[in-house]
Amino acid sequence: MDGVDGVLASFDSQPTRITTLAAAHRAFPDELRAALMALQSPGDNEIHRESLAADALARLYAGCVADLLEEAGVPAAQVRAVGVHGQTIRHQPAAGYTRQANNPALLAELSGIDVIADFRSRDIAAGGQGAPLVPAFHQAMFADPAQAIVLANIGGIANISILDPADDTATGFDTGPGNALMDGWTFRHLGRHYDDDGNWAASGRVDAALLQALLQEPYLALPPPKSTGRDLFHADWLAARLAPFGMLAAVDVQATLARYTAVTLAEAIHRHAPAAKAVYVCGGGAFNTHLLDELRAALAHLKQPIAVAATDTLGMAAQHVEALAFAWLAQRFVARLPGNLPAVTGALGPRILGALYPA
Cis bond before residue 132 (omega within 30° of 0): yes
Sheet holding 171-177, edge to edge: 171-177, 157-163, 149-154, 278-282, 307-310
Residue 268's pLDDT is 98
Give the per-residue SS3 of 248-294: CCHHHHHHHHHHHHHHHHHHHHHHHCCCCCEEEEECHHHHCHHHHHH
Say what the pLDDT of residue 207 is: 98
What integer pLDDT is reported at residue 12 of this predicted model? 82
Alpha carbon of 189 to those of 29, 196, 198: distances in Å? 20, 14, 14
**pLDDT tens, per residue, the chain with 359 residues:** 889 999 999 998 665 689 999 999 999 999 999 999 999 989 999 999 999 999 999 999 999 999 999 999 999 999 999 999 999 999 999 999 999 999 999 999 999 999 999 999 999 999 999 999 999 999 999 999 999 999 999 999 999 999 999 988 899 999 999 999 999 999 999 999 999 999 999 999 999 999 999 999 999 999 999 999 999 999 999 999 999 998 999 999 999 999 999 999 999 999 999 999 999 999 999 999 999 999 999 999 999 999 999 999 999 999 999 999 999 999 999 999 999 999 999 999 999 999 999 99
Q: What is the pLDDT of residue 14?
A: 64
Residue 19's pLDDT is 93
The pLDDT, as a whole number, for residue 15 is 54
| pLDDT for res 314 | 95
Angle, nearest 10°, between helix axes 30-38 and 46-72?
Answer: 140
Amino acid identity, position 342: P
So what's the pLDDT on residue 169?
85
**Residue 338 to residues 122, 146, 162, 163, 213, Cα–Cα distance (Å):** 11, 26, 19, 19, 40
Q: Which domains does the chain have, with CATH numbers?
A: 3-130+320-357 (3.30.420.40), 134-314 (3.30.420.40)
The per-residue pLDDT for range 23-48, each reduced to its tens digit, is 999 999 999 999 999 999 899 999 99
What's the angle, vertex CA 189, arms to CA 188 and CA 194, rounded to 5? 75
Residues in the chain, how many?
359
- Closest CA relative to residue 119, chosen from 358, 357, 359, 352: 352
* DSSP output for 89-149: EEEEGGGTEEEEE--HHHHHHHH-S-EEE--SHHHHHTTS-----HHHHHHHHH--TTS-E
